[in-house]
Amino acid sequence: MVEELTTFTPFEMEGLVARNRIVKSATAEAMADDMGFVTDDLIEFYKKLAEGGVGTIITGFMYISEKGIAMKRMTGVSSDEHIDGLKKLVKEVKQAYKEKWDDDVVFIAQIVHAGRQNYPFGDPVAPSPIPEGLTGVKPRELTNEEVYQIIDDFVKASLRIEKAGFDGVQLHCAHGYLLSQFISPYTNRRKDEFGKQREKILIDIIDGIKDKSDFPVIIKMNAVDFIPGGLEIEDSVRIAKSLDKAGYTAIEVSGGMWESAIYMKYNVVCQNVKKSGEAYFAEYAKKIRREVNIPVMIVGGIRSLRTAENLLKNLEFVSMARPLIRDPYLPEKWMNRETQESDCLSCNKCLRNISSRELRCYADEK
Ligand SMILES: Cc1cc2nc3c(=O)[nH]c(=O)nc-3n(C[C@H](O)[C@H](O)[C@H](O)COP(=O)(O)O)c2cc1C
């Protein structure tokens, strides 16, 4: 008899039932057309993930407004015109899941404003005009009115995501993009209400969504920035508690900004698991989980079923990005015990290619 693993037990949050505890963490796909519309390539990418049996899929970041674009060929949700393509994506992915697993996948769309990390696109903005260390870009400080406009853009984008049929939306408040710039004391030195209470922008966004709908809102947030003067765990625990109170459905815990690489001398977000070891943000995720009442997803360096099982003793979900780019069928293989590990090398060629080519595993190419 095969022992029962927590990894393959269902979990329900706010009426969404995930078939198992594995989440596909958001990864930019660079597969939309020039206007941010969904393409067949994008649909095929997600259909493979659906066939592979992951319980929850989170899309790559989508822009909420043209001013917030982070990279080329990014999917957009900045206008009602984007809804039809997104509808098709949801329909086909859910259908593929149903055919293979006779079940429903939890399909979440991630949304973002790039803020000062929009190099080399347009007008970089930020809570405060602190230069971005890697690119040297000096952002313009957002006016108070502009912050309210951005809140409205996030709310409208979330409602479009709901109209398209997704099960929930995830705010990207990690890795140094605009929302994570707001919660960081390093990048947010504002004197107005958005500086006095750095998480206010997140509370205003969910309040705006909940005014119109019960749509589940998840957040991916930094626990630590790995920058002197940046966000530290005590502060992120405090913020997580207020997000729980504000009605967020779940928190995915990550860490690092682009600029962290200067201080740490490595890519903090996408670490080399051979050096870092597996689940490199686990201690932070567990600290946050101890203080909140909502499910917590842990991302970063999960590579084996054994590690997943261990993490699930304290956390509700394990989230993976690079392993599922390498092999979308990994959850099915773990389930059937064909393998108990990922053969992702953490080479980050997927990441390096994303600015010029579509998302896939390039590890086997010279
Ligand atoms: C090619 C690539 C694209 C990514 N794009 C996003 C993104 O759009 N949104 C996001 O929150 N994280 C993004 N990430 C970060 C991943 O979601 C994840 O946090 C990170 O890769 C660590 O997890 P892993 O060790 O399982 O890969 C990206 C990572 C890679 C490699």
CB of residue 322 inside a 6 A radius of ligand 1? yes
Token pair in block for residue 37:
């519309």
**CB 300, CB 279: distance < 8 Å:** yes
Q: List residues bridging with 218 in a β-sheet.
A: 170, 250
CA nearest to 224, candidates 287, 296, 181, 284: 284
What is the phi/psi pair of residue 351, to 5°? -70, -40
Distance 22 CA to ligand 1 centre (A): 15
Distance 26 CA to ligand 1 centre (A): 6
**Rounded to whole angstroms, how far apart are CA atoms 238 and 288?**
9
CB-based burial, 240-266: b 16+ in 10 Å, e otherwise: beebbebbbbbbbbbbbbbbbbebeee
**Mean pLDDT confidence for 66-90:** 97
Residue 3's pLDDT band (boundaries 50, 70, 90)? low
CB atoms within 10 A of CB 232: 15
Residue 331: cis peptide before it, omega within 30 degrees of 0? no
Strand extents, DSSP E, 185-294: 217-224, 250-255
- The predicted pLDDT at position 121 comes to 85
Pocket test for ligand 1, best of 172, 322, 341 (most atoms within 8 A of CB): 322
Q: Is 148 a catalytic residue?
A: no
**Rounded to whole angstroms, how far apart are CA atoms 178 and 184?**
10
**CB 33, CB 39: distance < 8 Å:** yes
**CB 244, CB 212: distance < 8 Å:** no
- Determine what percent of the chain is predicted with pLDDT higher than 70: 99
**Mean pLDDT confidence for 304-324:** 98
CB atoms within 10 A of CB 355: 12
Residue 213's pLDDT band (boundaries 50, 70, 90)? very high
What's the pLDDT tens digit per position in 93-148? 999 999 999 999 999 999 999 999 998 887 899 999 999 999 999 999 999 999 99
Complete domains list, the chain, with CATH = 21-353 (3.20.20.70)
Helices 144-163 and 200-212: crossing angle in degrees, nearest 10, is 40
Distance 321 CA to ligand 1 centre (A): 5
**Rounded to whole angstroms, how far apart are CA atoms 223 and 221?**
6
Residue 7 CB partners (closer than 8 Å, separation 6+): 20, 21, 22, 305, 308, 309, 312, 318, 334
CB of residue 311 inside a 6 A radius of ligand 1? no
Look at the block and give the residue holding tokens 């690092």: 256
Element counts in the chain: helices (H) and strands (E): 14, 14
The answer, yes or no, to whether residue 167 has pLDDT greater than 50, is: yes
CA nearest to 36, candidates 1, 76, 70, 69: 76
What's the pLDDT tens digit per position in 13-70? 999 999 999 999 999 999 999 999 999 999 999 999 999 999 999 999 999 999 999 9
Q: Say how many CA atoms lie within 13 Å of 21 toward its Cβ.
A: 24
The answer, yes or no, to whether residue 1 has pLDDT greater than 90, is: no
Distance 139 CA to ligand 1 centre (A): 24
Residue 47 CB partners (closer than 8 Å, separation 6+): 92, 93, 96
CB of residue 308 inside a 6 A radius of ligand 1? no
What is the phi/psi pair of residue 172, to 5°? -90, 100
Pocket test for ligand 1, best of 22, 25, 72, 219 (most atoms within 8 A of CB): 25
The answer, yes or no, to whether residue 289 has pLDDT greater than 90, is: yes
Question: Looking at this protein, which amino acid is placed at residue 268?
Answer: V
Helix then strand then coil, % of the chain, to nearest 5:
40, 15, 45
pTM value > 0.85: yes
CB of residue 220 inside a 6 A radius of ligand 1? yes
- Determine what percent of the chain is predicted with pLDDT higher than 90: 97
